[in-house]
């Protein structure tokens, strides 16, 4: 028997829910509704999976309060306010512990004599910390990371292996950065000329505030001057491009492969879905939603949902889609009118009404 | 004379083709039709280049069986069933040998005492292998790679320099991973709240089956729980995003910069062309083709080709495009009808009033 | 007082402009119009910010010659031909010096005995230089970079940390490569088969000519044979995909997240805006402009601007957008015509023939 085994009743206790069905059902792990076996717990987090609850083999399912069907014999529901959050708690119960963090400085790390690295920080193998850099208390710098001259990483951060932070960039507290991400590369700026483009120096920095998480393989360019700024609590998914002098507002959610061009500013709580592109020098208001693959060419007011390239208010986008779909029908009506008008003209021209065909 | 020099007749022998023209023409290398010189071999792999065969300077050209024109004096065709595959064989003949793989463990690599690294594996300079990791026979781990705690890489694999594999992820046999790719970063999942988003633990893994190839700078997120799964023989191009709990079916071809959102499942042999986006929780049937830049917002049946954002069956997309292109013409016809009707009404005004309906 | 402090008159001297207003105003740094304080200099580089000049607190503003409003008391304009270029010069005056480049070879770097590394080059910590590679005079190879067997990097280059250059690739002089970028990964090429895809060897190279700059996390695949070629002076932004055998012409500007499929060729001075996709085997003429998110499915003539997926000449795209927006209005006119025609028919049926016009 697993050390972590739980009964349905124990699950209900842990998540503040109530049991429907057999509270003694035992589970030893978690799985999706589709894949779960009798000794596993699952959850109904997205209404689209509602029809999978009864057919599922899961011994215990976390369900929302409005889920009405009763559990079959030998199974149990745990009814709770937020099955998705409850599921997180049970997942954590069964999850293997995270890999241990080796305390201190790996002997293969290359740490400048005048870098200020907290005693409680962990510096991984082959990491490089340049002169003047600072690493806060309990922060983990993964293997192969590069922290440039004078860059700072606040307390309780975690940079996974092979992250690059260029000179003078500043990361706040509790910042998480996934592998491969590059912070502080030069912005893309040139003065065009007859014999080629002359590079505009990019002498600003990147500032990343507290509680930000950056995914894998994200590029955040340093400012031309001043700062590129990712504000508190923003969460950025993989392969996102943040150009120079962009401001990403507090608690924004930026989904994978979004690109934000230079000097654009996102307000608080903006959601940019996957593969959205935002042209330069735009303002996106608080709480706006940018639907997947949209391409913004002008400002977006607060609270608005937009879609398409160029992006328009999403109901207008839907109306346009509907209208494109009925062009064939409209063309058919035009053709019918043309025939009727020709017929009317023919009658009028020839005198008496034409006979029916 | 090059050690590798071949005559047209020798080329025909090697590829199982037959010579048309002068079998004694000698070649010392390969080039495209456009760039080849008299001592080089080229091939007609794509019908769009058919018109380049005769003007080409290539001494020998691999052509398909339906290619009819005869070679000019002093040149030769080698007629074969699959010129592209035949060309591969000749390219391989002339190619420089791949760089030698240094056997064993580079002294600068940092390998945990309890990692199980096969004797025949090669571990590059400054690579880091964490405790509990396993590296199979003859597998090459390039310089600067990171293999996390308990991760496994099967036999005969090749991880090019600077790849990151996070803890507990599992790679099968003959897996190729190009530089910069990140396997097992955290999925993008948060519980939204008034004062910010709370991170949902991502405690699953990534499982990559035998014979998969991942391009450069690919991001494959670990599952929220369970696994993100790339099945046998799938081939994934550069800069692709694979979110948590995605399943990529056997022998899928995923072209560069595609993004697949969380929990979506691709069947066997799906082709996703460049920059396609797939929303979360979707199912794409076996053998479906997703045309470039499409954005999927709903399931795609097996064998279907779709295009556009939101993606629709590709003939409907083409019809919509055609229809948008004729709106001006339809508008002109409406205007003409309006004039004619006005004219008819004007005439009618001279006659007796119609009776009420 | 800052060692770098300047008066408005000194600014005018440095940039070849003339002072309007108080030439004694002192500045100690630079900022945007919006954020600048009285002791800072700003600039009007983009006409869209014209309205911000007077409200700005900036003590000195670089303005173009056609800017007419006079400065308020205590502030000054420096009028000049190119405020953006002038601003660069002043930014450079105040910028912190770039991080010092450590001369020579870091002791932790792993450099093959037969690699030819110039005396004046700088090889960073944990960098790996394979046998036969060459590094030119004064070139900087950042920490954690990998330079493969026989690869060459010309003089005066700068590879930022964690760049990967695979075997035999050739970089010219003054080439800048930002962190995370991968040069020379295998092209994406397979022969499809019933039981999976067979890899086509990718035995060519990448050639990057003088004065090219590559952003962060760019993927440039090696050629199937011959070369993938980025020509002199081209500038490539972050997260761009360059497939095998692509040619990028001199002085092209390729913005972030663009993808160029195999064997396509871009002429001189092409501008590809963000997230553009270019299908394989296409030719894009000199000076063409590919607008953001466009998807090219056929050749683009020189000097043309295109937009959309599939991309069309941009005026046609604009016309199509306009036309889609008026479908509701056209449908309304069709409906009105139908009513009128029905009315005419009703009259015609009941009354005498109309007279000829």
What local confidence, expressed as pLDDT, does residue C69 receive?
Answer: 92
Q: Is A99's CB within 8 Å of B130's CB?
A: yes
Q: Is B330's CB within 8 Å of A334's CB?
A: yes
Mean pLDDT of chain C: 94
The Cα of B302 is separated from the nearest Cα of chain A by a number of Å equal to: 20
| B28 and C CB contact within 8 Å | no
pLDDT tens for A226-261 read: 999 999 999 999 999 999 999 999 999 999 999 999
| A297 and C CB contact within 8 Å | yes
Asked if B128 and B109 touch (Cβ cutoff 8 Å), the reply is yes
Question: What superfamily would CATH give domain B104-280?
Answer: Hexapeptide repeat proteins (2.160.10.10)
Where residue A2 falls among pLDDT bands split at 50, 70, 90?
A: low
**DSSP string covering C156-184:** T-EE-TT-EE-TT-EE-TT-EE-TT-EEE
Mean pLDDT, rounded, for C202-217: 97
Q: What kind of architecture, by CATH, is found in domain A6-94?
A: 3-Layer(aba) Sandwich (3.40)
- pLDDT value at A21 more than 90: yes
User: What 3 state SS string does C35-65 have?
Assistant: CCCCCEEEECCCHHHHHHCCCCCCCEEEECC
Q: What is the dihedral of CA B185, B191, B192, B198, to 10 degrees?
A: -70
Mean pLDDT of chain A: 94
- pLDDT value at C14 more than 60: yes
Q: How far is the C-alpha of B286 from the C-alpha of B227, rounded, in Å? A: 21
**DSSP string covering C205-250:** EEEE-TT-EE-TT-EEEPPSSSEEEE-TT-EE-TT-EE-TT-EE-T
pTM: 0.94
pLDDT tens for C85-107 read: 899 889 889 888 899 998 899 99
ipTM above 0.90, yes or no: yes
Q: How far is the C-alpha of C194 from the C-alpha of C187, rounded, in Å? A: 22
Within 8 A by CB and 6+ apart from A166, the residues are A148, A151, A182, A183, A184, A185, A206, A222, C160, C179
What local confidence, expressed as pLDDT, does residue C327 receive?
Answer: 97
Mean pLDDT, rounded, for A182-186: 98
What local confidence, expressed as pLDDT, does residue A3 receive?
Answer: 61
| B200 and A CB contact within 8 Å | yes
Mean pLDDT, rounded, for C152-171: 98
pLDDT tens for B44-75 read: 988 889 999 999 999 999 999 999 999 999 99
How many interchain CB pairs under 8 A, B with C?
214
Fold identical between C6-94 and C104-315?
A: no
Q: Is B88's CB within 8 Å of C203's CB?
A: no
What local confidence, expressed as pLDDT, does residue A76 receive?
Answer: 96
- C350 three-state secondary structure: helix
Mutation target vs A (from B143, B295, B298, B320; most A CBs, 10 A cutoff): B295
Residues of B classed as catalytic: 244
Question: Which 8-state DSSP code applies to residue A300?
Answer: B
Q: Is C341's CB within 8 Å of B341's CB?
A: yes
* Burial bucket for residue B311 (CB in 10 Å: 0-12, 13-18, 19+): buried
| A101 and B CB contact within 8 Å | no
- pLDDT value at A357 more than 50: no
| B341 and A CB contact within 8 Å | yes
What local confidence, expressed as pLDDT, does residue C1 receive?
Answer: 38
Give residue limits of the domains in chain C.
6-94, 104-315
What local confidence, expressed as pLDDT, does residue C3 receive?
Answer: 61
Within 8 A by CB and 6+ apart from C70, the residues are C20, C21
Mean pLDDT, rounded, for C209-221: 98
The residues of chain B scoring below 50 in pLDDT are 1, 350, 352-357
pLDDT tens for A279-314 read: 999 999 999 999 999 999 999 999 999 999 999 999
Topology at the third CATH level for domain A104-315: UDP N-Acetylglucosamine Acyltransferase; domain 1 (2.160.10)
Question: Which one of A100, A125, A338 has the shortest CB-CB distance to B110?
Answer: A125
pLDDT tens for A44-99 read: 988 889 999 999 999 999 999 999 999 999 999 999 999 988 998 898 898 888 99
Where residue A40 falls among pLDDT bands split at 50, 70, 90?
A: very high
């Amino acid at each position: 028997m697993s050390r972590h085994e739980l009964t349905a009743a124990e699950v209900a206790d842990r998540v503040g829910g109530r049991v429907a069905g057999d509270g003694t059902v035992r589970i030893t792990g978690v799985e999706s509704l589709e894949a779960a076996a009798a000794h596993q717990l699952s959850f109904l987090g997205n209404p689209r999976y509602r029809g999978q609850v009864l057919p599922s083999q899961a011994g215990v399912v976390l369900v929302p309060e409005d889920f009405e069907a009763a559990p079959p014999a030998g199974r149990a529901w745990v009814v709770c306010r937020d099955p998705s959050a409850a599921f997180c708690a049970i997942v954590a119960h069964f999850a293997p512990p995270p890999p241990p963090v080796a305390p201190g400085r790996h002997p293969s790390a290359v740490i400048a004599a005048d870098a200020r690295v907290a005693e409680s920080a962990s510096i991984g193998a082959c990491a490089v910390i340049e002169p003047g850099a600072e690493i806060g208390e309990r922060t983990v710098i993964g293997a192969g990371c590069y922290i440039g001259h004078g860059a700072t990483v606040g307390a309780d951060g975690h940079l996974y292996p092979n992250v690059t932070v260029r000179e003078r960039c500043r990361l706040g507290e509790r910042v998480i950065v996934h592998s491969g991400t590059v912070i502080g590369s030069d912005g893309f700026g040139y003065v065009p000329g007859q014999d080629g483009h002359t590079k505009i120096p990019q002498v600003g920095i990147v500032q990343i505030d507290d509680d930000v998480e950056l995914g894998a393989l994200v590029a955040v360019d340093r400012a031309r001057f001043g700062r590129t700024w990712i504000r508190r609590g923003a969460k950025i998914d993989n392969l996102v491009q943040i150009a120079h002098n962009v401001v990403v507002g507090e608690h924004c959610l930026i989904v994978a492969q979004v690109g934000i061009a230079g000097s654009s500013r996102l307000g608080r709580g903006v959601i940019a879905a996957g593969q959205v592109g935002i042209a330069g020098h735009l303002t996106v208001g608080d709480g706006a939603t940018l639907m997947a693959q949209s391409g913004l060419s002008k400002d977006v007011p607060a609270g608005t949902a937009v879609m398409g390239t160029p992006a328009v208010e999403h109901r207008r986008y839907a109306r346009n889609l509907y209208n494109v779909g009925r062009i064939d029908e409209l063309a058919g009506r035009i053709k019918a009118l043309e025939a009727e008008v020709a017929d009317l003209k023919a009658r009028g021209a020839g005198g008496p009404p034409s006979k029916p065909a």
